[in-house]
Amino acid sequence: MHGSDIRLIQIAKSQSENTRGWSLSRHAVDEGLSLYHTAGNKGIERDLEIHLPKGILFFQFNMGESCDLMFGPHYKQTLNSSESMLLYNPEKDLDFICRLSSEANSAFILTTVETLHGLIVQGADDIPFLNASSNHNKYYMKLSLPPAMRFSLEQLFSSQMSSMASRLYLSGKAYELLGHYFNKDENSDYLEACPFLKDQRNVEAIRKCRQILMDRMEDLPTIKEISTEVGLNEYQLKVGFKNIYGKTINTYFQDHRMTYALKLMTEDGLMVQEAAAQVGYSNVSHFITAFKKKFGVTPKQYLLS
């Protein structure tokens, strides 16, 4: 993709640029495939300045709130929640602005026809931009995200991993999203395993549960109390949460509080006792034990290294 160090998506240099409230993460899967993702932050609109060289395939997967792809002063495409956009122009570069609403979460995959063709050998002739007879044509398509892809994106936006594990995880996610995109029989995937999640209200209740876990670490309600607050029984909450986020509620919460405690110590300069208190530990020795279980070393050893 013109060298893996080339960044094709940038923060727009304008008054609407935000410097601290959000971030755009890029992961180069290989020379011809990159994954970008950015999660929303309440009250902050984001502009991304996108340069798409001719012949590069652009996939965007949008969750949460809507976004606008602005191709000039008089033309735009609105991408609503749970929609994807594919863009491909073999004849000329495309430069446009992606204006994300404050709580829009978007993932972007940029790749080449050659790379994608190498991944999808069987059945490639059924895909217009991979078919030799039609890959010289401009192409765009807006689609609804199938359930399995929505769950995959939920996991991407909520993932918290070490830098080493993150590289493997993001590479896998890039291939997983492309697999979901080209899967013709996707609609029955997660829904057959968990029909309860067909109802968007149930999915929103589980998202609310996740937000409670992140916002109330110092005085976390019990699962029974959370289930009452979000309007689901405990069984539905536990099963639905694991289907969406890939972990039990307790495991997810414990991973999040340890990762957040690490940030408080390494980035915000808090002492061990202070970080422990902020993530809900009244007993520092219990916090140290939990930290070592997660990261393999005590907080002091981690900071010294």
And the tokens for 209? 């549960």
The answer to whether residues 96 and 120 belong to one domain is yes
The answer to whether residues 46 and 124 belong to one domain is yes
Q: Answer whether 298's CB lies under 8 Å from 284's CB.
A: no
Q: Residue 6: pLDDT above 90?
A: no
Q: Residue 125: pLDDT above 70?
A: no
Which of 83, 117, 145 corresponds to the end of one domain?
A: 145
The answer to whether residues 287 and 255 belong to one domain is yes
Q: Residue 198: pLDDT above 80?
A: no
pLDDT at 42: 62
The answer as to whether 165 is a domain residue is: no
Residue-range definition of the domain harbouring residue 55: 9-145
Q: Quick one: average pLDDT of 48-71?
A: 89
The answer as to whether 203 is a domain residue is: yes
The answer to whether residues 212 and 291 belong to one domain is no
pLDDT at 128: 54
Q: In what order do the strands lie in the sheet with 76-79?
A: 9-11, 46-52, 94-100, 67-70, 76-79
CATH number at residue 208: 1.10.10
The answer as to whether 164 is a domain residue is: no
Across 96-110, 154-168, 241-255, which has the greatest mean pLDDT?
96-110
CATH number at residue 33: 2.60.120.10
CATH number at residue 287: 1.10.10.60
pLDDT at 243: 76
The answer to whether residues 202 and 294 belong to one domain is no
**pLDDT band at 228, cuts 50/70/90?**
very high
What is the residue-averaged pLDDT of the chain?
79
pLDDT at 23: 64
The answer to whether residues 242 and 257 belong to one domain is no
The answer to whether residues 13 and 128 belong to one domain is yes
The answer to whether residues 200 and 235 belong to one domain is yes
Instruction: Write down the pTM of the prediction.
Output: 0.57
Query: How open is the CA angle 248-105-18, to the nearest 5 degrees?
Result: 125
The answer as to whether 34 is a domain residue is: yes
The answer as to whether 99 is a domain residue is: yes
**pLDDT band at 41, cuts 50/70/90?**
low
The answer as to whether 187 is a domain residue is: no
The answer as to whether 169 is a domain residue is: no
And the tokens for 18? 């935000």
- pLDDT (tens digit, 9 = 90+) per residue, 134-148? 456 677 888 888 888
Residue 120 in 3-state DSSP? Answer: coil
Q: Quick one: average pLDDT of 10-16?
A: 40
The answer to whether residues 140 and 14 belong to one domain is yes
Q: Answer whether 52's CB lies under 8 Å from 95's CB.
A: yes
Which of 145, 164, 181 corresponds to the end of one domain?
A: 145
CB neighbours of 221 closer than 8 A, spacing ≥ 6? 212, 229
pLDDT at 15: 37
* Residue written as token pair 């709130």: 65
- What's the CA gap between 139 and 89, in Å, rounded? 6
Residue 134's CB is within 10 A of a number of other CB atoms, namely: 12
Q: Residue 189: pLDDT above 50?
A: no
- What's the CA gap between 98 and 211, in Å, rounded? 26
The answer to whether residues 241 and 256 belong to one domain is no
Number of domains in the chain: 3
The answer as to whether 157 is a domain residue is: no
The answer to whether residues 13 and 141 belong to one domain is yes
The answer to whether residues 227 and 291 belong to one domain is no
Q: Residue 39: pLDDT above 90?
A: no
Surface-to-core class of residue 186, CB atoms within 10 Å of its CB (0-12 exposed, 13-18 middle, 19+ buried): middle
